[in-house]
Structure 1
Amino acid sequence: MNETNKESFLERSLLVGENSEIYLHRALTVLRNEGLNPYVTYEIHAKDDGILCGINQIVDILEHVLPESDREVWSLSDSNEITKKEVVLRIKSKYANFGLYETSMLGILSSCSGWATAANRCAVAAEGIPVVSFAARAVHPSVAAHVDYSAITGGCSAISSIIGGKITQTTPSGTMPHSLVLIMGDTVRAALAFDRHIEKNVPRVVLVDTFRDEAEEALEVSRRLKGTLRGIRIETPIERGGITPHLVDEIRIKLDYENFEEIDIYVSGDLQPDDIRNFVKNESKVGGFAIDNYIARGSGITFSGDIKEIDGKSIARRGRKPGITPSSRLNRIL
């Protein structure tokens, strides 16, 4: 994450521990009154394979709360592939310096890595065909920036929200919503109005499944916006049979027949990696996929944190190995 965007992630509620679980506050109260604040080694490990994301945000937090001396932070990097039980973060410092933030650190890693892993599964399934994340429409708006950052980290070529574009320093991607076409009353009319009023550097990609047959609307829009149309997008609802490779092939054939070979076909909706693989296996000429719910739901990857040393002495709770976990992949960050 670039320097200019750090503060947007360091909300006051996080820094004062309002996002932290109450038992961490109580633990620190007990330790403080008992005069205990040992130097500990604390490790976070993954509970499943996936794509790591959220480390940059955690480093931002630790830079803010750890003293400049007598600290060590070792970690992997955002976008690294990780394996089950692999240590992704190691902190060495006085416990009171960071113990309150365990909730936030685990939550950041679980959410962001889950989104990044889901995005990566879509990108891998697409085999080089661009995947745009529309996941911002399927999460709470307070985390839209985080889901978009995670999607880019996982391999998406673009995201859809303005705040996501700011955080990732990319240009948000999007065409037109069904609401515009419905209000305008006609797909071609909506497309022509879009072309008149939207900046010329925005690609003209028109939604063609609102009122009539997708192939019919695709042809009419292509004729009326000849020379300026970049592509068409289809998001046929499941009530109409959904989006299939056969539908894409039909539209492609009809566009090519009228010499509109340059018009790309973009597929969007509630698609999953298996759906994407079906298009690829069928060799359907898809120009790009736009995925929302699958990325927003995440992969379910979670993380766990443990103290592994106290004042240089190896320790662990039952079921865990005491002492520092050997890892040649961790790099010292702080």
Structure 2
Amino acid sequence: MFHTASDADIKAGEVSDVYFQRTVEILQARGDRKRVKAEIYLKSLPEDWHWGVLAGIEEAAALLDGVPVDVRAMDEGTVFAPYQPVLTLEGVYVDWAQYETALLGLLCQASGIASNAFVGGCDGVAVTKSAELIDADPTGTIPHSLVLMVGDTVEALKAFHEVIEPKVRRVALIDTLQDEKFEAIRVAEALGKDLFAVRLDTPSSRRGDLYRIVEEVRWELNLRGFEHVKIVASGGIDEYEILRLNPVVDSYGVGTSIANAPVLNFALDIMEIEGRPMAKRGKWSGAKDVLRRRGTLETVVQPAGTPAPAGGPWDALLKPLVTRGRVARDLPPPRTIRDFVLDQLAGVPLDTIRRQGLRRDF
């Protein structure tokens, strides 16, 4: 048995915090069927992040499909900043209250991972099932275990070359048994033009300055006419190390920094009850619209239904997702979402996007 909730458990509200279940029980006993409007947003981002990438909208739609509620949400892959509502709900509170825990969990984890993946420029995945879900071919190189089982780096690469279909790029792992420089030369001479790249996964205990090691490997390969061979770095790589290594490294293998990315701390708060603005202390009550100046990341949050600021055109970021309990729009495939994210970030240095535009602390 895997210790994860089933789809049926989640749809049944079984992953709700118990105080939501008790709240629903109390309100039902009182005959309370008041309609509310609520919104999901965050006050801050992890570490020194200045923006996030919204993810989990497809799962949120699946969760709320069949629940008598109206939902507006930003598109999957929208770049957003703190204090910008990313999803709103309207309906009888007791009809959807038990889904708050699951809804936040889906958005928090997915958005944290998506933000870190796109900060690093993620181009593919290595896990077979993950690739299937995004309609892509899995990518990968050679593990240390293959080199150890064969007993030699070059022989392991030759075995890979003989057995694995030609469309898979030949990338040699060069740090298992010997010095990276000499292993790089050996595998390049063995495969020649068929060698696509060499990968350094050197553990920190033996690494020294990885930048200098890669420079040395690059020099020796170029000196011998192997300029076509690219260099891949992996092992403890995060977005900060990528920025440092970019001048000498062509590609990166990143696992932990994406899978264990900081969770984005979304919160869900009631903003209106029966059409009357009502929120807890520290929140700005009332329903809101989120507008973005077309072609920019300049964003304004304002009371719902008020005219857009001058200087448009402005696009509404919150769009119908679920209407009267039914999913209201088609959701794009992962590759389309990725293109959308990269289009938003085009021409903007990854470390300089600030919380732009008109900001209000709701």
Which amino acid letter does the alignment assign opposite residue 295 of structure 1?
Answer: I
- Matches of 2:98 and 2:220 in 1, distance apart? 61
Q: Does 1:333 align with 2:296?
A: no
Cα shift readout 1:276-298 (whole Å, capped 9, x = no counterpart): 12123xx21x2201112222221
Secondary structure of the residue aligned to 1:326 is strand
Structure 1 residues 18 and 72: CA distance shift in structure 2, 3 A: closer
Deviation at 1:310, TM superposition (A): 1.7
- Matches of 1:61 and 1:76 in 2, distance apart? 16
| Residue in 1 that maps onto 2:215 | 249
Which amino acid letter does the alignment assign opposite residue 106 of structure 2?
Answer: I
CA contact (8 A) 1:73 1:90 kept: yes
| Residue in 2 that maps onto 1:55 | 57
Structure 1 residues 302 and 242: CA distance shift in structure 2, 3 A: farther
Deviation at 1:94, TM superposition (A): 1.9
Comparing 206-215 with 320-329, greater Cα deviation is found at: 320-329
Cα shift readout 1:106-151 (whole Å, capped 9, x = no counterpart): 111111111122223323xxxxxxxxxxxxxxxxxxxxxxxxxxxx
- Matches of 1:311 and 1:56 in 2, distance apart? 28
- Matches of 1:20 and 1:47 in 2, distance apart? 23
CA contact (8 A) 1:235 1:243 kept: no
User: What is the TM-score of this pair, normalised by structure 2?
Assistant: 0.75
Q: Does 1:43 align with 2:39?
A: yes
Deviation at 1:97, TM superposition (A): 2.6
Which amino acid letter does the alignment assign opposite residue 206 of structure 2?
Answer: R
Show the 5 A alignment for 1:194-233. 194-233=160-199
Secondary structure of the residue aligned to 2:183 is helix
- Matches of 1:59 and 1:195 in 2, distance apart? 44
Deviation at 1:221, TM superposition (A): 1.0
Picking from 9, 34, 42, the partner of 1:13 is 9
Picking from 69, 93, 98, the partner of 2:96 is 98
Runs of 5+ consecutive residues of structure 1 not aligned to the other structure: 1-8, 124-155
Which amino acid letter does the alignment assign opposite residue 59 of structure 1?
Answer: A
- Matches of 1:313 and 1:303 in 2, distance apart? 24
- Matches of 1:207 and 1:301 in 2, distance apart? 34
Q: Does 1:109 align with 2:110?
A: no
Picking from 15, 19, 25, the partner of 1:23 is 19
Show the 5 A alignment for 1:173-322. 173-242=139-208, 244-280=210-246, 283-284=247-248, 286-322=249-285
Deviation at 1:240, TM superposition (A): 0.6
Cα shift readout 1:49-94 (whole Å, capped 9, x = no counterpart): 422111121012112x324xxx421111222111111100011122
Secondary structure of the residue aligned to 2:290 is coil
Cα shift readout 1:255-310 (whole Å, capped 9, x = no counterpart): 11111111111111102222212123xx21x2201112222221342101011122
Which amino acid letter does the alignment assign opposite residue 90 of structure 2?
Answer: K
Which amino acid letter does the alignment assign opposite residue 21 of structure 1?
Answer: D
Deviation at 1:243, TM superposition (A): 5.9
CA contact (8 A) 2:153 2:183 kept: yes
- Matches of 2:258 and 2:167 in 1, distance apart? 28
CA contact (8 A) 1:235 1:242 kept: no
CA contact (8 A) 1:161 1:172 kept: yes
Which amino acid letter does the alignment assign opposite residue 302 of structure 1?
Answer: N
| Residue in 1 that maps onto 2:331 | none
| Residue in 2 that maps onto 1:34 | 30
Q: How many residues are aligned here? A: 287
| Residue in 2 that maps onto 1:172 | 138
CA contact (8 A) 1:10 1:60 kept: no
- Matches of 1:259 and 1:56 in 2, distance apart? 49
CA contact (8 A) 1:243 1:267 kept: no
Hey, which bits of structure 1, 4+ residues long, moved more than 6 A?
A: none
- Matches of 2:107 and 2:77 in 1, distance apart? 12
Structure 1 residues 219 and 290: CA distance shift in structure 2, 3 A: same
Deviation at 1:321, TM superposition (A): 1.8
| Residue in 2 that maps onto 1:85 | 83
| Residue in 1 that maps onto 2:117 | 119
CA contact (8 A) 2:289 2:318 kept: no
Larger helix fraction of residues: 1
Give me the CA root mean square deviation.
1.7
Secondary structure of the residue aligned to 1:87 is coil
